[in-house]
Amino acid sequence: MNRVRQQDLGTPASSSADTVKVEIDGLPATVRAGTSILRAARESGVDIPKLCATDSLKPFGSCRMCLVEVDGRNGYPASCTTPVEAGMKIRTQTEALSKLRRNVMELYISDHPLDCLTCSANGDCELQDMAGAVGLREVRYGFEGENHLDAPTDATNPYFQFDASKCIVCSRCVRACDEVQGTFALTIQGRGFASKVSAGISEDFLDSECVSCGACVQACPTATLMEKSIVENGQPEHSVKTTCAYCGVGCSFVAEMRGDQVVRMTPDNDGQANHGHSCVKGRFAWGYSTHRDRVLSPLIRDRIDEPWRKVGWDEAIQYTAKRFREIQAEHGRKSIGGITSSRCTNEEVFVVQKLVRAAMRNNNVDTCARVCHSPTGYGLKQTLGTSAGTQPFDSVMDADVIMVIGANPTEAHPVFASQMKRRLREGAKLIVVDPRQIGLVKSAHIKAEHHLPLLPGTNVPIINSLAHVIVAEGLIDEDYVQARCDTDSFVAWKAMILKPENSPEEVAKISGVPADDIRAAARLYGSARRGAIYYGLGVTEHSQGSTMVMGMANLAMATGNIGFSGCGVNPLRGQNNVQGSCDMGSFPHELPGYRPVQDDAVRGTFEKHWGVTIDPEPGFRIPNMFDAACAGRYKGMYIQGEDVAQSDPDTLHVEAALRSMDCVVVQDLFLNETAKFAHVFLPGTSFLEKDGTFINAERRINRVRPVMKPSQGKDEWLITQELAQALGYPMNYENAAQIMDEIAELTPTFSNVSFRFLDEVGSVQWPCNANAPMGTPIMHIDNFVRGKGLFIETDYVPTEERTNRKFPLLLTTGRILSQYNVGAQTRRTDNMVWYNADLLEVHPSDAEMRGIREGDLVSLSSRKGDISLVATITDRVKPGVVYTTFHNPETGANVVTTEHSDWATSCPEYKVTAVQIAPATHRSEWQHGFDENAKRQGKILETS
């Protein structure tokens, strides 16, 4: 069995385009200028011993293991901190060097427990390897003197331990936390012999600033910082490269296994989205995939108040097909449909939309992206011509000014946030547009130049006002606009933007952001050489979400900030495969590749390939499905991996819709909230069992490889295929690779993509076709995909959701690092130690006015419903705004959110709800009902 061995070349690669020739141990070598001698030697196959150096960190030069001799130089320079020079003659192996290295190693070992054979790192320890490499056989100094062998172990972190007795104080962990993660949680305390690694003054890891990203564990060359899963289970025996199944960063990992058990997920140094970094979720929170709550047999029941019956796969599929056929016979062809999941692979999504179009014979397919980034698809397509972000993540390293709007990268896209913070520490300037003081506004060595804490719902006036200043003060890139954009639309946009209502003074009245701050932020972005916009759901989940996306695209075009590295308009996608689920044709009006279902030629291509006639009429969007269900016109749906009863807005309406249907089919890992209303439960597979691809926020197609067999006995695409067959449509893939081949054949932007190609190149960003055989990292380089960039007027239309005397506060929502989306995965991991209940953030003045103190239970009511949750008093939110997360189903955050949605895409307006809060003595009625329901659900399972 194979084990992926990640290479460590000692120091980071040089970015120089020049090369120099040197001689290493008598052999010629050509390397990039600026490369360290250590790296140059390793690139040439010569392993100089090292301890404090690793290629993810700047060289430090503390351990003195990597000494070399250089002709014409006195002494023994450290090869990790000495760059090569043309003509250098370097010797790495001499008698004198061996002696020096042995002496250094002897000192380390004399203060290190000699328990290698029983140590968890045995066989995977650089100290052990280096002792062997320098030929150390005995230690002359003995262990009698002062030492650290009794230093305590800090095991407070749920995922890794810190065994101080094994620490060699090489500082790799400290530097990893600073340079790679950017949290600055660790320090070396004390000096000389007394120096030791510390996670804070008298703090253990759990109570420190540490965010459990694992970078220090990864960097540690000894067993000091070590994953508990390795301590408990032993070293891995084999491994497989795959992709994280949490957020849209799409980090690559090496899944390390013992037998068929995962013992560690190690971030892949070759991962082009993460470059060897990770966050707590991908690195450690994978235990849900084998959690005891997973349902491993199909379940059916005739009515939702009946107990579930365990059945075999055939029975479940035949039962589903029969009920769907009966519904269509009675209520018509369009009375059923399906929802695809952004958590599933492209291949799994593709077959579900094909099932709906080819087997159900309608276009009633939608995706959970409807409720997050559908305005991105619409807004960027209208203005630029493609429903996707413009840049690779690495582009941020070339940005001079970074504007983050309605996104909280340190919590929701942590690995990208670390990269962005690195660029900010290098000197790029930051503008944050967000109602809350998110972590980026002020954190270790980072301070935003401008934070515009706008009132929820006022994104559009703010972007218009930023543009107003930029136009009024002549900061437009006229040459760029003339050359690349539609000038008529530009003229019209400029006239709209210059209207007095878009002036900072007027917008200040609506948004609550001082005019001077708007003006200063506009000048900073407008004068940037390379200005980049990153945004999230705080942009899209509004009644004017699409308008705001177009507003940002307008601004980027007007300032000439699209088409090269360091700029662009970049959506930070929430889930792992939001981009892919949209690309795969999950929207009711679009076939794969965003091609209109109403277009005869497009339909013709698919009809020919699929051997069916495709309905030319677009189907229902998710909210239309629920409305039609309540009206008795929509009776059955197949829901792939989405928990609509928890994640969609206006819970009571969603529950009523689900309850009114005759056949709800849920395909998921766990009996989620939606399953309470389901008649069929089809167990899904975890990412560790999937074979396919995910597409991240930068359009990167990453391979997802199975590390174990599906524990419920069936690949998910096969479940869908068998249902299609049972409905009478012949779907006959033999494996997931064949599905990708069909996607490539039918989707022009994917025509070069195949599993084999991805296995060869690692990953690729679409479009990947004859015009761009190796993919397209940056979009719109010479021309916009639509030809000329189109400016679209973005007049402000206030949301209908208004505050009044009864509901005077605005509720907005977001995520936290340790939890993920509806929490189905992370709530089944040790991440619960950090955050096990959704809290309501309230500003001190709003709290005082209502007699609410820290930790009080409060009721939160809106026009839609009431819930209660625990308050935390903080000035992260401004007066008049309250904030919560939505990770726990029992919170019912969506009981209070409304039916308002984006005018263009129906994306719900999660981010603006008028509410009132008050001290509470008991949980809300809805929550009480939830508890009862949960108990019943549990009992039913036990007796079934």
The whole-angstrom separation of Cα 49 and Cα 65 is 6
Nearer to ligand FES, 20 or 130 (CB): 130
177 binds, among ligand FES, ligand SF4, none (CB under 5 to 8 A by kind): ligand SF4
64 binds, among ligand FES, ligand SF4, none (CB under 5 to 8 A by kind): ligand FES
Shortest approach of ligand FES to residue 61 CB, angstroms?
4
Say if strands 839-842 and 69-70 run parallel, antiparallel, or are unpaired: unpaired
Shortest approach of ligand SF4 to residue 247 CB, angstroms?
3
Nearer to ligand SF4, 273 or 904 (CB): 273
If one asks whether residue 219 binds ligand SF4 (CB under 6 A), the answer comes out as: yes
Nearer to ligand FES, 43 or 590 (CB): 43
Per-residue binding string, ligand FES, 599-638, x by CB under 6 A, is ----------------------------------------
Query: Can you point out the beta strands (E) in 726-848?
Result: 763-765, 809-814, 839-842
- Nearest 5°: the CA angle 874, 880, 882 is 50
Nearer to ligand SF4, 43 or 55 (CB): 55
End-to-end CA distance of the chain: 40
Shortest approach of ligand FES to residue 344 CB, angstroms?
44
Q: For tokens 């150096």, what's the residue?
A: 53
Shortest approach of ligand FES to residue 50 CB, angstroms?
4
Ranges within 280-339 binding ligand SF4 (CB under 6 A): 281-282
**Which helix (H) or strand (E) element contains residue 95?**
helix 95-109
Q: What is the DSSP letter of 240?
A: E
**Which helix (H) or strand (E) element contains residue 661?**
none
If one asks whether residue 530 binds ligand SF4 (CB under 6 A), the answer comes out as: no
224 binds, among ligand FES, ligand SF4, none (CB under 5 to 8 A by kind): ligand SF4
Ranges within 223-282 binding ligand SF4 (CB under 6 A): 224-225, 244, 246-247, 249-251, 274, 278-279, 281-282
Nearer to ligand SF4, 372 or 785 (CB): 372
Strand partners, 196: 189
Shortest approach of ligand FES to residue 166 CB, angstroms?
17
The whole-angstrom separation of Cα 835 and Cα 83 is 46
Shortest approach of ligand SF4 to residue 639 CB, angstroms?
23
Shortest approach of ligand FES to residue 387 CB, angstroms?
47
167 binds, among ligand SF4, ligand FES, none (CB under 5 to 8 A by kind): ligand SF4
Name the token pair of 561. 């900030």
Contact 576, 247 (CB under 8 A): yes
The whole-angstrom separation of Cα 173 and Cα 157 is 15
Shortest approach of ligand FES to residue 181 CB, angstroms?
21
Nearer to ligand SF4, 393 or 930 (CB): 393
Which one, of 10, 87, 6, lies nearest residue 44 by Cα?
A: 10
Which one, of 890, 899, 889, 887, lies nearest residue 863 by Cα?
A: 899
If one asks whether residue 174 binds ligand FES (CB under 6 A), the answer comes out as: no
Per rule CB under 6 A, count of chain residues that contact ligand SF4: 41
The C-alpha torsion from 139 through 144 and 146 to 147, rounded to 10°, is: 50
168 binds, among ligand FES, ligand SF4, none (CB under 5 to 8 A by kind): ligand SF4
Which range in 180-188, 505-513, 892-900, 912-920 contacts ligand SF4 by CB under 6 A?
180-188
Name the token pair of 539. 């942009």
Q: Who's near 360: CB < 8 A, 6+ residues apart?
A: 324, 328, 333, 336, 337, 338, 727
80 binds, among ligand SF4, ligand FES, none (CB under 5 to 8 A by kind): ligand FES
The whole-angstrom separation of Cα 71 and Cα 91 is 8
Contact 450, 804 (CB under 8 A): no
Which position among 24, 41, 185, 254 is part of the footprint of ligand SF4 (CB under 6 A)? 185
The whole-angstrom separation of Cα 551 and Cα 379 is 9
Q: Which residue is nearest to ligand SF4 (CB)?
A: 282
Strand partners, 238: 257
Shortest approach of ligand SF4 to residue 218 CB, angstroms?
8
Contact 324, 341 (CB under 8 A): no
If one asks whether residue 169 binds ligand SF4 (CB under 6 A), the answer comes out as: yes
Shortest approach of ligand FES to residue 10 CB, angstroms?
7
Nearer to ligand FES, 62 or 754 (CB): 62
370 binds, among ligand SF4, ligand FES, none (CB under 5 to 8 A by kind): none
Per-residue binding string, ligand FES, 45-84, x by CB under 6 A, is -----xxxx-------xxxxxx-----------x-x----
220 binds, among ligand SF4, ligand FES, none (CB under 5 to 8 A by kind): ligand SF4
Query: Between the CA of residue 210 and those of 186, 213, 286, 357, 440, what are the distances in Å?
Result: 8, 8, 19, 48, 16
Per-residue binding string, ligand FES, 127-166, x by CB under 6 A, is ----------------------------------------
Which one, of 533, 532, 536, 531, lies nearest residue 572 by Cα?
A: 536
Name the token pair of 602. 């497009």
Convert 803-829 into a string of H (helix), E (strand) and C (coil).
Answer: CCCCCCEEEEEECCCCCCCCCCCHHHC
Contact 76, 95 (CB under 8 A): no
Contact 277, 180 (CB under 8 A): yes
Contact 376, 587 (CB under 8 A): no
Ranges within 351-380 binding ligand FES (CB under 6 A): none
Distance of CA 774 to the CA centre of its chain: 24
Distance of CA 932 to the CA centre of its chain: 34
Q: What is the DSSP letter of 180?
A: I
Nearer to ligand FES, 63 or 869 (CB): 63
Q: What is the DSSP letter of 396?
A: G
Per-residue binding string, ligand SF4, 410-439, x by CB under 6 A, is ---xxx------------------------
Which position among 88, 104, 186, 654 is part of the footprint of ligand SF4 (CB under 6 A)? 186
Which range in 135-143, 206-214, 330-338, 926-934 contacts ligand SF4 by CB under 6 A?
206-214
Nearer to ligand FES, 112 or 334 (CB): 112
The whole-angstrom separation of Cα 193 and Cα 188 is 12
Query: Can you point out the beta strands (E) in 33-78?
Result: 69-70
Per rule CB under 6 A, count of chain residues that contact ligand FES: 12
Contact 67, 99 (CB under 8 A): no
Cis peptide leading into 375, omega within 30 of 0?
no
Name the token pair of 336. 């059923």
65 binds, among ligand FES, ligand SF4, none (CB under 5 to 8 A by kind): ligand FES
If one asks whether residue 39 binds ligand FES (CB under 6 A), the answer comes out as: no
Which range in 100-108, 163-171, 359-367, 507-515 contacts ligand SF4 by CB under 6 A?
163-171
Nearer to ligand SF4, 186 or 327 (CB): 186
**Which helix (H) or strand (E) element contains residue 349?**
helix 346-354
Rg value, the chain, Cα? 29
Nearer to ligand FES, 69 or 650 (CB): 69
Nearer to ligand SF4, 219 or 365 (CB): 219
Q: Which residues bind ligand FES (CB under 6 A)?
A: 50-53, 61-66, 78, 80
Q: Which residues bind ligand SF4 (CB under 6 A)?
A: 167-173, 176-177, 181, 183, 185-186, 197, 210-216, 219-222, 224-225, 244, 246-247, 249-251, 274, 278-279, 281-282, 413-415
